[in-house]
């Protein structure tokens, strides 16, 4: 069994970012096109770099297409950049790299405010568009958190499930739910899975911040069907001297090895969430 290590959104070695953006104030179609082109070029470079460095798991940043889900954007970037996406997607497939995405904190499926749920769905659709245009199969996942509590966790969980059930098939095929560091534990996520079938991401660091008594890895892994690909886990260390829940600058090799030992009997794709990104992957890979 192997653990496939990955990193999120940014490569600190390459001198480019695939999350370049601009202010809403300075929005124009020209500006948008220019930025998208730079982002796609950089994504291509990151994929090449990952391949050369044998890193087979990468999270594509949500800023790839700025303002994609904002009403200001009337530009059909999906059609306009079809070829570019396909080219990058073919490379990803050829290199056997797994990609995922993770919308930011504004995506809240369980909000009691209808307009926030609607906007969240539009944003998830944008993430789906990116993965579809790249030609990713249903193992190309979009990670969500359960959302807010609104003073009533039970109701908030019910709202997540009922809103999940209303989603289109293409979104349901891609979204997965992750335990967070404050509110929803891995146990809550497993309960949600039982009710609606959404695969569960285990975030080890969040689990340490917001634990349940016993952890059963088999149970988490069983929420993933074959078409979902390898189960995805997330890993980080606590920032020494930082607030509880702050991610460390770099990975603690000794701590990581302890965790790796616990899970190495499974086939898991493990996303490292540390600030020095790919450097930590190289640090613990093959050690």
Partner DNA sequence: TCACGTCAAGCAGAT
Partner DNA sequence: ATCTGCTTGACGTGA
By beta-carbon proximity to DNA, the closer residue of 27 and 87 is 27
Instruction: Give the DSSP letter of residue 142.
Output: E
228 vs 273, beta carbon nearer DNA: 273
Least separation in angstroms between residue 108's CB and DNA is 4
Nearest-approach distance from CB 203 to DNA, in angstroms = 7
How far is residue 98's CA from residue 150's CA, in Å, rounded to a whole number? 35
Residue 177 CB, shortest distance to DNA, in Å, is 12
Rank residues 153 and 170 by Cβ distance to DNA and give the closer one.
Answer: 153
Please give the residue ranges that form the binding site for DNA (CB under 7 A): 8-10, 17, 19-26, 61-63, 66-70, 102-106, 108, 111-113, 116, 119, 123, 145, 147-151, 180-183, 206, 243, 245-247, 273-275
Nearer to DNA, 19 or 222 (CB): 19
Question: CB–CB of 260/233 below 8 Å?
Answer: no
Which structure tokens are listed for 151?
């003073």
Shortest CB 261 distance to DNA, Å: 24
Q: Which residue reads 């124009």 in tokens? A: 28
Radius of gyration (Cα) for the chain, nearest Å?
19
Of 83 and 244, nearer to DNA (C-beta) is 244
Burial per residue of 226-245, b for 16 or more beta-carbon CB atoms within 10 angstroms, e otherwise: eebbbbbbbbbbbeeeeeeb
Write the DSSP symbol of residue 256.
H
Q: What's the token pair of residue 59? A: 């999270």
Work out how close the CB of 53 gets to DNA at its nearest, in angstroms, rounded to a whole number: 19
DSSP state of 145: E
Nearest-approach distance from CB 145 to DNA, in angstroms: 7
Look up residue 120 and give its two tokens: 């969240």
Shortest distance (Å) from residue 182 CB to DNA:
5
Residue 46's CB is within 10 A of a number of other CB atoms, namely 26
How far is Cα 209 from Cα 100, in angstroms, rounded to an integer?
Answer: 24
Nearest partner of 250 among 205, 281, 271, 285, judged by Cα: 281
For residues 158 and 222, which CB has a smaller minimum distance to DNA in the complex? 158
State whether residue 143 is helix, strand or coil. Answer: strand
Q: Which is nearer to DNA, 50 or 111 (CB)?
A: 111
């Amino acid at each position: 069994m192997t653990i496939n290590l990955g990193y999120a959104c940014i490569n600190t070695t390459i001198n480019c970012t695939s999350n370049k953006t601009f202010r809403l104030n300075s929005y124009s179609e020209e500006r948008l096109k220019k930025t998208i082109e730079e982002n796609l070029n950089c994504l291509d470079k990151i994929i090449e770099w990952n391949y050369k460095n044998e890193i087979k798991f990468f999270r594509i940043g949500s800023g790839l297409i700025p303002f994609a889900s904002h009403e200001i954007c009337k530009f059909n970037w999906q059609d306009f950049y079809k070829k570019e996406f396909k080219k990058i997607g073919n490379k990803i497939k050829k290199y056997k790299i797994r990609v995922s995405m993770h919308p930011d904190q504004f995506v809240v499926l369980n909000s009691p405010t209808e307009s926030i749920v609607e906007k969240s769905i539009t944003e998830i659709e944008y993430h789906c568009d990116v993965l579809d245009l790249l030609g990713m199969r249903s193992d190309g996942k979009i990670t969500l958190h359960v959302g807010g509590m609104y003073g009533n966790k039970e109701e908030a969980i019910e709202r997540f499930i009922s809103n999940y059930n209303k989603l289109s098939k293409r979104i349901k095929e891609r979204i997965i739910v992750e335990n967070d560091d404050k509110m929803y534990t891995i146990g809550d996520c497993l309960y949600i899975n039982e009710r609606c079938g959404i695969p569960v991401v285990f975030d080890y660091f969040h689990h340490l911040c917001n634990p349940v008594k016993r952890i059963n890895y088999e149970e988490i892994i069983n929420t993933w069907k074959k078409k979902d690909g390898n189960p995805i886990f997330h890993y980080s260390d606590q920032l020494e001297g930082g607030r509880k829940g702050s991610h460390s600058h770099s990975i603690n090799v000794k701590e990581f090895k302890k965790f790796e030992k616990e899970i190495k009997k499974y086939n898991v794709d493990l996303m490292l969430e540390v600030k020095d990104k790919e450097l930590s992957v190289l640090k613990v890979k093959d050690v």
